[in-house]
Amino acid sequence: LANILWASAKLAFYHDSLFEKIANHVCTDEHLLTTYNGQDFSMLMWAFSEANTGYPLLFEKVTEQLLEFDNLNDFTTHALCNIIGGLNKFTDPPQELMNKVLQTAQQRDEESRELAKLSKALFPKEEEICWKSTCTCGRKHISDSAVLSILLQLRFERNYRQDDDAFTDDAALVEESHSIQEEQDAPL
């Protein structure tokens, strides 16, 4: 079912009835989500996000299933981006799930670029940040995994404040934290 929705979204074929029927089926078949892997969850959430179609019960079921996993280590960073990005578009994922995603990301030794994708999924409305380290656009650039970790932590501490000016305060804290880290790392 996730493959069908992914293909539909990839082709920009957003048939509401198809998405609704699959969402209802996934929600009523208690066993189905337990068989899903990271890629299945990723494709499912990406498709709903692309279709701009929200089904709160489906997102609740997906969240519950993700929280039942001992960890998300088998999920790729790309899958986590799609899942959190999709959930974030329509709901406020619970802090417990966000913490689980953060723990998974922190355990990985991946390029900052991959972690930046995850951070962008967690911070979809932050227009002030550019995620390309080689860009010269003049915006703040995030390519340092330590800064990303601070951003993620701030995301959790914000308690999902939705007002547009909230990020300005967080950006100042990140700059301050990053300056402190640079001072600590400076040779004596």
Last residue in a domain, options 71, 90, 108: 108
pLDDT, one tens digit per residue, over 99-151 is: 788 778 767 655 445 655 666 666 665 555 555 555 666 555 554 454 555 55
Domains in the chain: how many in total? 2
| Assigned domain for 178 exists | yes
pTM: 0.61
Query: Do 157 and 79 belong together in one domain?
Result: no
Domain holding 47, by residue range, is 1-108
The total number of residues written for the chain in this structure: 188
Query: Do 132 and 175 belong together in one domain?
Result: yes
| Assigned domain for 149 exists | yes
Query: Do 96 and 153 belong together in one domain?
Result: no
Query: Do 104 and 140 belong together in one domain?
Result: no
| Assigned domain for 113 exists | no
Write down the residue that tokens 């179609």 correspond to.
53
**Are the CB atoms for 72 and 101 separated by under 8 Å?**
yes
Query: Do 9 and 89 belong together in one domain?
Result: yes
Query: Do 124 and 103 belong together in one domain?
Result: no
Query: Do 32 and 69 belong together in one domain?
Result: yes
Instruction: Please state which of the ranges 44-48, 61-65, 107-111, 170-174 shows the lowest mean pLDDT.
Output: 170-174
**Are the CB atoms for 41 and 83 separated by under 8 Å?**
yes
pLDDT, one tens digit per residue, over 21-50 is: 999 999 999 888 899 999 999 999 989 988
| Assigned domain for 44 exists | yes
Query: Do 23 and 85 belong together in one domain?
Result: yes
Write down the residue that tokens 């709903």 correspond to.
48
